[in-house]
């Protein structure tokens, strides 16, 4: 066929390799769309769960604050009182129910919601005047005792650390007497300083 003999249908046709490429791109885009939609769905579910947990935590916190306000500090008692509250409609609040229970408590809640403590007065108590400071004496009192009592000067030695071998060598050098010779005082001072002897 020559160029002049091409039909309009032949000009509108797409080559097969290009059709395969476009089909592959479309299938990949559809797969990506499905994955993105699943991710969005998962995130919406997590968001809903977090909102529910947040609402529950807010409610529990408000109830704890109300219970602490009336003097209920034990967590088990707070949980027990919370379990006794069953709202009859959406407008009933825990604070309102708690106020009603404090005024006219049910037999189960009476021990927890009535207080035996006296009411705190609204007026502040009178402040007692501070007692005048005692006059300072001009004489200085002696300290109760000697702060250095019971201490003594550390034993002085020549600064040489005497090892077992050094002591044996000094003993041999002293000879038949079995003493430590002229190093005796230095060795004994080191042993006293270390606390090995008295």
- Average the pLDDT over each of 16-25, 128-137, 143-152 and give the range with the smallest value: 128-137
pTM above 0.85, yes or no: no
**Alpha-carbon distance 84 to 101, whole Å?**
11
CB-based contact 170:180 (threshold 8 Å): yes
User: For residue 121, what pLDDT band results from cuts at 50, 70 and 90?
Assistant: very low
Residue 167 φ/ψ, nearest 5 degrees: -65, -40
Tens digits of residue pLDDT in 40-83:
999 999 999 999 999 999 988 988 888 888 888 888 888 888 88
Tens digits of residue pLDDT in 18-41:
888 999 999 999 999 999 999 999
User: Domain locations in the chain?
Assistant: 15-113, 164-194
Region label for 175, one of left (φ > 0), alpha (ψ between -120 and 50) or beta (otherwise): left
C-alpha distances (whole Å) from 184 to each of 156, 170, 188 are 13, 9, 6
**Alpha-carbon distance 67 to 63, whole Å?**
6
């Amino acid at each position: 066929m020559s160029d002049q003999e091409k039909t309009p249908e032949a000009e509108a046709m797409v080559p097969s390799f290009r059709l395969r490429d476009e089909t592959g791109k479309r299938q990949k885009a559809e797969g990506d769309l499905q994955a993105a939609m699943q991710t969005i769905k998962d995130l919406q579910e997590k968001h809903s769960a977090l909102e529910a947990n947040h609402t529950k935590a807010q409610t529990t916190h408000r109830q704890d604050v109300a219970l602490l306000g009336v003097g209920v500090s034990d967590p088990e008692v707070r949980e027990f009182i919370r379990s006794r509250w069953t709202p009859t409609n959406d407008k009933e609040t825990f604070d309102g129910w708690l106020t009603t229970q404090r005024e006219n408590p049910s037999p189960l809640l009476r021990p927890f919601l009535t207080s035996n403590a006296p009411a705190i007065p609204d007026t502040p108590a009178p402040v007692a005047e501070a007692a005048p400071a005692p006059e300072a004496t001009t004489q200085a009192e002696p300290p109760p005792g000697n702060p250095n009592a019971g201490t003594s000067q550390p034993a002085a030695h020549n600064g040489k650390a005497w090892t077992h071998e050094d002591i044996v060598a000094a003993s041999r050098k002293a000879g038949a007497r079995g003493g430590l010779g002229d190093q005796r005082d230095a060795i004994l001072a080191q042993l006293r300083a270390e606390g090995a002897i008295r």
